Structure 1
């Protein structure tokens, strides 16, 4: 019933009401009670409650009296503390004046009667502004009050300086002590203001002396005139240069009188009456004037006139006699030199014509060189098919020969032969890649590529090399999609893996995998090879550059150059970390494609099996007889029945003779007489009425052919074909892409 958080007066009043109600209740119970004992018992209980409430009331009254005494004592202490301060102090609580000291009241005695407790801070500032003792205010009372109220608690806002009668100066400091309280401090700064004023006047006097000293020691003659045209300041050089008497050039001399004296005595040859009028008119219009005049003594003077900010004029005279004479001498020498230069010019013209002729010859030679480079580039790009055809045939024949001679004494020789052709193939691929990257019409088309597919393809291609070298090759393909060119990215990964295998000794390990870095993917190739020194790491990406510790006969240094060029064109970042004798880490950082979920990740830890029989009918269309023979031999060695054709017509003839479609078609893209492999595949499907599975084998690495294969339903393998990829691809297409009725 009683809230102890309320003021003590309120608690005492409520207790008195409770006691009164209890007394009335006891009286009523006494009057209407049914038993004298019950009434007596109720009276005793009521009396005990009254005594308890009375003690509480007395204790509360005593606490209230002590609190009032403490409050009065604290208020007196605050007033004494304020009186002891050097400056004026006023404390505002809730926007009302609570207390102020005597210094604050004495500063403005004519309004001290209005500065009473309870006065609002706005009215306090208004009264101060109306005081007769207030001379000036630097700032605004209203603005300072608004800034103080917006400022944070405890922050000072010094924004007002006031001047009182008697040359007294005070600084007003406003400070918030809480959300509701504001303290106003008046600090006297009269000594500081007077000292600054004295120093400023002294500095001005010294500056005037310095200015006069500078004027007197200047090599030029200087004279200033007031806006009314009277001389205000000059130096002796001005009088000496013009040859004026002392009586003529004095402070207060009129400018017009000075000009008349100069004209009458002919001190300046050009100072005729009309010239002076023209000078003054131009000075009035443009604010400045510059003339070179000749003095009567023969000296040459530079005259400079400028308008001053107050409307006056500054005249400057400078003796340029020596400069003028030097100029005249220079002009004479120039005249003499002109004739010499004219003759030299004739010689230079002849030399220039000769130079132009040489430059024209150089331009023609440059165009020829550029044409030769362009021709070389076009030749390499156009001849890639013809260059790769014999390599492809040789690899197929070597593979066939290797299987046939596996258990004979010729097996090591065949293996070395295969390694030699692999080196030729790698070098040829590097040269063609560099040629394509350097050509002006290169077509790098970044698309969404699955890294896992490319990495598994590289693993399948390079596993035989790693096994022959005795190196463990592990690859953890990440089925993440990146934005890159699939052909050149495949070549870059293949070059890094081949290099790692090549420079890792027997028993070593090569590991390839990926790391995610936010929205990017970093493909890394680790090896335990010979390593690369720090100085060689800066140049290994150059053409034909190799590290110092690379053994002879291990390549010509083009693979990393292709990787570097490809990544620069595609916006990828290539890095290398290596330590000699420990190993190397090459990485390619690419942009990941957002919104494409990663596929199922498959490891590459087992060698693909190739011991099954290829019991299928394979139609091979190839215009090169050597390649056709090599393909036929290898496919028959795998157990396939091969129909060899050199053109579309010959393939259709086999189809008519057999009376049924083949299980799969292997076709070269570029055939004779404008015939192409995609037309041959389409013709076979149309003639047989069956959508026969097909693989295009070509040296063309353009993305357009890959796109056509996706649209028409055939796979694309580039030459020289990797047999480790060809055989499982044939089996997969026959097994999972069984022939179906073609659309006619």
Structure 2
């Protein structure tokens, strides 16, 4: 019934009406009521409600009175604060002037009457712009007001600087204090502006002094002219360089007059070219002028003229006499040097032509040398079979003769003949190894190799030699796998053992074994021989080099050289430790095969011991060389075998057909006549017989390809010259233990 938003006096009048109506109602109920007591109770209750309402009205009246007093006090405090401020202040609410102080109102007297509460802010700025007391504004009122309106509440202040009459300066700051309110502050900055202006003028004066001091201390002569052509600033160096009298070069002197003086007194030697009009025209068109002139005193001057921004001219003179002389001297030296270089160039061309001719001759010589080496390599490779064939035949015949001449007067002679052929065989193997190592990139094929098999093979080959010399040869079996080439590694081990046996006296000992060194394996050959001095240890691996204590006739010095070259190609490390009179230790360090563990000793194939019983076997021999075929036949027959000799695969098939049965074993040369090969002959005989006849390939070819082919096709490989100490046990083993139907693979070398 009572709206709290209405004015207080209206609320009080309405409450009085309500109370009066309630009183009248109570009186009427009292008059017409049947019970006096009930009427009395109603009156009491109604009176309590009236008192409560009265107290609420009084409390509300007090609060409204206090709020009105606070508002008036706050407005008075705000007015006092604004009056106490040094600058002008104006508060705009909802875009209209709410309140301002006297400073703001009196700033522009001609518009002070218009600055009344309720004035729109746009009209306020328009009135300020129209004021006669406003001289300049650095900025724009409308732009500043729009920027302030777009800014966030409490954002940065938008500032303007205005100048008033009497050289007074003020800064106007605009800032939004709420969504509806905006404050405008006027701060006087007259003192700051005047002080900055004074400092600027003082700085300009000092800069002029500094500039004059710089001019005076410059090595170049400098003079500036006004747009009217009058001298403004110069230094003494300019007057001295140009040779002008004091009266000619003063402040206010005319440029044209000075140039006329220079031309009339021939201060510039090129007087006929001294065209002042041309100079000035060029300076006017291009804004700069640069020219080198010669002074009457002989000095060379660089003249630089520049048009200044205000239209004046800056002239600069620089003495370049020394520079000119140096340039002339340099040009002369350059000319002389050019002549020398031209002559040297001609000589270099002649030398280059000579070098080109020599290089061409060297290239031809190199090609010839490479062709010769290639021819030699091809010759040795092609001739190895032919060279080893007679050696092989001779060894077989000597072995047969040795058995036949035993306990006769010819036995010592046969032994010497056997030793001579062994030396020839060793030397031939060394020469062939060197030839193969020259093309090692093509012949070396590293693979996983079981060292135990190679060590066992060397032991079997060299045991007879050790027994003849009275030297004990021991091998500590080690079935570890290494990464190397089996053929060349076998030859290296064999060379080390042969070398140790050769230089170990009777009663000595040679020991071969292996040691683990992390991820590597070191094969060692120990001997109790004559030893090697420290100075000889550095050269024993050279070709044809021997230690000083080596007796004459004990070799040509190729074995260790071949070992060193082979190991370098394979990436192995060769070392030697030795002491004269005590013995030597040669070692070869190799990389252990990854993922391959040492196998049990019986896992690697070993050649059985020599069986002295007679061979009651049928042996088919295929060999195209008649001498080798004859020697094989005699030796095998001496061992008790029945031999069918054939020079070709066709002849071998004829023998098989005549026998009507398969031979016990087949021995075949690899290279036969008319392009035939031993592997194809073995395959033909097996096909004719219908069984996997045991077979041994005897060849001079030492490549790994033939070994791999033998592993695939089931035949063993022996290299020429054949070691009889290995041939007989291998025949016994293959006939007795290699069943024809199984066809196991044997890779003996």
Q: Per-residue deviation at 1:609?
A: 3.7
Q: 1:134-173, aligned counterparts within 5 Å?
A: none
Q: Determine the structure 1 residue equivalent to 2:583.
A: 583
Q: Which residue of 1 aligns with 2:667?
A: 666
* Whole-Å separation in 2 of the counterparts to 1:616 and 1:228: 129
Asked if the contact 2:607/2:726 (under 8 Å) is kept, the reply is no
The equivalent of 1:504 in structure 2 is 504
The separation in 2 between residues aligned to 1:292 and 1:729, in whole angstroms, is: 107
User: Which residues of 2 match residues 535-546 of structure 1 at below 5 A?
Assistant: 535-546=535-546
- How far residue 599 of structure 1 moved from its aligned partner, in angstroms, is 2.2
Q: What's the CA shift for 1:281? A: 10
Give runs of aligned pairs for residues 325-364 of structure 1, distance below 5 A. Answer: 325-334=328-337, 337=340, 341=342, 353=353, 356-364=356-364
Residue 461 (str. 1) matches residue 461 (str. 2): yes
Deviations 1:467-494 (A, max 9, x none): 1222111111210111111111100100
Structure 1 position 633 matched with structure 2 position 634: yes
- TM-score (normalised: structure 2): 0.58
| TM alignment of 1:386-405, pairs within 5 A | 386-405=386-405
Give 3-state SS (helix, strand or coil) of 2:236's partner.
coil
Match of 2:517 in 1: 517
Higher mean alpha-carbon deviation, 422-431 vs 228-237, is at 228-237
In structure 2, C-alpha distance between the alignment counterparts of 1:274 and 1:636, rounded to whole Å: 126
Question: Structure 1 residues 430, 327: CA separation in 2 closer, same or farther (over 3 Å shift)?
Answer: same
Counterparts of 2:508 and 2:281 in 1: how far apart (Å)?
Answer: 103
Q: Aligned partners of 2:584 and 2:730: how far apart in 1?
A: 33
Q: Tell me the residue number matched to 1:431.
A: 431
- Preserved CA contact (<8 Å) 1:380 1:435: yes
Q: Report how many aligned residue pairs link the two structures.
A: 487
Bigger radius of gyration among the two = 2
Which deviates more from structure 2 when the two are superposed, residues 235-244 or residues 657-666? 235-244
Task: Give per-residue Cα distances to partners, 1:157-205, cap 9 Å, x unaligned.
Answer: xxxxxxxxxxxxxxxxxxxxxxxxxxxxxxxxxxxxxxxxxxxxxxxxx
Shift of the alpha carbon at 1:244? 5.7
State the TM-score, normalizing by the size of structure 1: 0.58
Q: Deviations over 1:642-696 (max 9, x none)?
A: 1111111111111111111111000001011111111111111111111110000
Counterpart in the other structure of 1:592: 592
What SS does structure 1 have at the residue aligned with 2:726? helix
For residues 191-230 of structure 1, what are the alpha-carbon distances to aligned partners after superposition, in whole Å with 9 as ceiling and x for unaligned? xxxxxxxxxxxxxxxxxxxxxxxxxxxxxxxxxxx99994
User: Is the Cα–Cα contact under 8 Å of residues 623 and 647 in structure 1 kept in the other structure?
Assistant: yes
Using the TM superposition, give the Cα deviation of residue 517 of structure 1 relative to its aligned residue in structure 2, in angstroms.
Answer: 1.1
CA distance in structure 1 between the aligned counterparts of 2:302 and 2:547, rounded to whole angstroms = 72
Q: Distance in 1 between matches of 2:437 and 2:208?
A: 77
Report the CA distance shift for 1:703/1:239 in structure 2 as closer, same or farther (over 3 A): same
Aligned partners of 1:686 and 1:742 also within 8 Å: no
Match of residue 324, structure 1, among 307, 323, 327: 327
Counterpart residue number, 1:623:
624
In structure 1, distance between residues paired with 2:469 and 2:216: 98
User: Partners in 2 of 1:673 and 1:571 — Cα distance?
Assistant: 40
Q: Is the 8 A contact 1:475 1:604 kept in 2?
A: no
Partners of 2:610 and 2:725 within 8 A in 1? no
Give the Cα separation in 1 of the matches to 2:282 and 2:389: 96
- Structure 1 residues 660 and 277: CA distance shift in structure 2, 3 A: farther
- What per-residue deviation string (whole Å, max 9, x for no partner) do you get for residues 559-584 of structure 1? 11211121111111111111222211
- The answer to whether the 8 Å contact 1:455/1:475 transfers is yes
Residue in 2 that maps onto 1:530: 530
2:236 pairs with one of 245, 248, 252: 245
How far the C-alpha of 1:329 sits from its partner, in A, is 2.9
Gaps in structure 2 of 5+ consecutive residues: 1-206, 224-233, 241-251, 304-316, 745-749
Equivalent residue of 1:690, what SS? coil
Partners of 2:505 and 2:529 within 8 A in 1 = yes
- 1:507 Cα deviation after fit: 1.4
Q: 3-state DSSP class of the match of 2:597?
A: coil
| Offset, 1:352 | 5.4
- Following superposition of structure 1 onto structure 2, how do residues 76-225 of structure 1 map, counting pairs within 5 Å? none
Q: Aligned-pair distance for 1:384?
A: 0.9
Supply the distance in 2 between the matched residues of 1:459 and 1:617 (Cα, whole angstroms): 29
Query: Aligned to 2:667, what secondary structure does the other structure show?
Result: strand
Q: Distance in 2 between matches of 1:449 and 1:731?
A: 25
Change (3 A) 1:517 1:334: closer
| The 10-residue stretch of structure 1 (671-680 or 565-574) with the greater mean CA deviation from structure 2 | 565-574
2:699 aligns with 698
Residue 280 and residue 473 in structure 1: after superposition, are their counterparts in 2 closer, same or farther (change >3 A)? Answer: farther
Instruction: Classify 1:355/1:481 alpha carbon distance in 2 versus 1 (closer, same or farther; 3 Å).
Output: closer
SS for the counterpart of 1:409 is coil
Alpha-carbon separation, structure 2, partners of 1:715 and 1:550: 39
CA distance in 1, matches of 2:413, 2:605: 30
Corresponding residue of 1:571:
571
Q: CA deviation at 1:231?
A: 7.6
Residues 608 and 730 of structure 2 are in contact (CA less than 8 Å); yes or no, is this contact kept in structure 1?
no
Q: Which residue of 2 aligns with 1:450?
A: 450
CA distance in structure 2 between the aligned counterparts of 1:443 and 1:322, rounded to whole angstroms: 74
Assess if the C-alpha contact under 8 Å between 2:471 and 2:504 holds in 1: yes
Unmatched tracts of structure 1, length 5 or more: 1-225, 250-256, 283-290, 304-314
How far, CA to CA, are the matches of 1:711 and 1:630 in structure 2?
A: 30
Comparing 352-361 with 551-560, greater Cα deviation is found at 352-361
- Identify which range, 542-551 or 678-687, moves more after superposition: 542-551
DSSP-derived class of the 1:479 partner: coil
CA RMSD of aligned residues (A): 4.3
